[in-house]
Each structure stands twice: as structure tokens, then as C-alpha cells.
A and B are shown apart, each in its own frame.
Chain A
Amino acid sequence: AQSVTQPDIHITVSEGASLELRCNYSYGATPYLFWYVQSPGQGLQLLLKYFSGDTLVQGIKGFEAEFKRSQSSFNLRKPSVHWSDAAEYFCAVGAESGNTPLVFGKGTRLSVIA
């Protein structure tokens, strides 16, 4: 069965500092990987996705993620964090089958300090 682990429940970074949010997945076949961001009281916004090809994926808002099959990881990075990036971040894994839902990690809450 698919599973996603986000080891960090809460991370605090200074504005302008770099960011890396960790995500490890477990899936028997080729995974389809996603990062979503959620602001309080809001729905999910897709940051980026990986299906195949280049393992370094660029997303919106200056985010990128790197798929490492050997480590079963899909970590999210941003070189310089802005205060508006404070939110909850979810990593998710899916499958090719149309009837397979996404499986989400428990999320990492990002706080940004001045």
C-alpha cells in the first residue's frame, strides 16, 4: 500500500533563508508525486508534481522538488523563503490508475520569522 511520511511536523525559518521540507514515500510501482500548500481555512493549491522525466521539478512560487528513487524521497526546496510562504505543506503520492486516490502525508507546518 502507498504511504507518505513527512518527518517534520513544524519548521520555523527566517525570512530570506533557504527551506527544505522532507517527504519519503512507499509505493511498489512508479510513483506520481505531488506537493500541495494549504493556508489556514483554505483549500489545497498544487505547487508541483512529478510523473516522469527530469527528476528536478520546478513549481510555482519559486519552489522546486527533487525525486530520488534510491532514497524514496521527494523533498521540497526553496532558496529564499518569504513571509507569505507560511502555511501547511502536504506531500502526496498517487498511481496511474484513475480510481486510485492520492495518499497524503501528515503535513509540515511552516512558520516564517522576520
Chain B
Amino acid sequence: GAVVSQHPSWVICKSGTSVKIECRSLDFQATTMFWYRQFPKKSLMLMATSNEGSKATYEQGVEKDKFLINHASLTLSTLTVTSAHPEDSSFYICSARDPYSTYEQYFGPGTRLTVT
């Protein structure tokens, strides 16, 4: 099946710094990617929909200036957490849809962000 990778798998940063997380579709082109956030022992919460070549669509309550999403190519979307704070610590998961596949989303392995 299709593979989606994320980098890094985990990252620790200090408050006030910015962190970039990459999401890549390895063997297919994804015009649409999704970013989810998962708190400990909670479900996945959709943050935004990333569209290649256009602005991301953010869910209500998600700060677009804090969580910058860039989908510059058909295989790469990035999420940058700007001016990170401890409450931004979470598990971030991306997913991508193969437009030629059967309605399935392929999930990356996730990135564990810890802000100290």
C-alpha cells in the first residue's frame, strides 16, 4: 500500500522556538493532506486540510498563525509550530489521500513534540 512518512518522529524544543514537521507521500502524489493532533489518551482532532498550491483550510479553533502549513509540492506538506509553548506538546499525525485509490487515507507514523 501507499506509504506516508513523517520527520522527525520525535522532537524536543524550548518554549518560544519554532519546529517544522514534514509529511511526505513516498509513492504517490497527494493533492490533499490532512494534519491531526492527538492528546494523550484522546482521539485524533483534525487541525487543517492542506491543499497543494493553495492555502490550508483550518478547523475552527486552530490558530493559523501558530500552526503554519505549507503544501509546496504534490509529495510534501509541512507543519510549523511557531513560538511553541508547553501546551503545544502533543502527537501530530498527517495523512494523505491517493487520488487514484479507493477513498482511503494513508497515515504517517506521527511526530511526538515536547516543548520544555
Closest chain B residue, CB of each to CB of A102: B105
Partner of B93, one of A32, A43, A95, A106: A43
User: Chain A contacts of B95 at CB under 8 A?
Assistant: 101-102
Contacts of A101 in B (CB 8 A): 34, 46, 49, 95, 105
Known: A101-B34, A107-B43. A94 touches B108 (CB 8 A): no
- Does A44 lie within 8 Å of B103, measured CB to CB? no
A interface residues, tally (CB under 8 Å): 25
From residue A43, how far is it (CB to closest CB) to chain B in Å?
4
Q: Does A70 contact B (CB under 8 A)?
A: no
Q: Is B86 an interface residue (CB 8 A)?
A: no
Distance in angstroms between the alpha carbons of A21 and B110 in the assembled complex? 25
Cβ–Cβ contact A32 & B103, under 8 A? yes
Cα A95 to Cα B105 with chains together (Å): 11
Q: Are A43 and B107 in contact (CB under 8 A)?
A: yes
Docked complex Cα distance between A36 and B95 (Å): 13
Closest residue of chain A to B110 (Cβ to Cβ) is A43
Say how far A50's CB is from chain B's closest CB, in angstroms.
10
Contact A106 B43 (CB under 8 A): yes
**List of A residues within 8 angstroms of B102 by Cβ:** 51
Across the interface, which residues of A come within 8 angstroms of B112, CB to CB? 41
Contact across chains for B51 and A98 when beta carbons are under 8 A apart: no
Q: Is the CB of A49 within 8 A of B32?
A: no
Q: Which of B77-104 contact A (CB under 8 A)?
A: 93, 95, 97, 99, 102-104
Instruction: List residues of A whose CB falls within 8 A of some B CB.
Output: 32, 34, 36, 41-44, 46, 49, 51, 88, 90, 94-96, 98-99, 101-107, 109
Q: Which 3 A-B pairs have the closest CB atoms?
A: A43-B109, A43-B110, A101-B34
Q: A34-B104, A90-B43 are in contact. List 9 more A-B contacts (CB 8 A).
A: A36-B107, A42-B110, A43-B109, A46-B107, A51-B102, A88-B41, A94-B103, A96-B103, A107-B42
6 contacting pairs across A/B (C-beta < 8 A): A43-B109, A46-B104, A46-B107, A90-B44, A94-B103, A99-B32
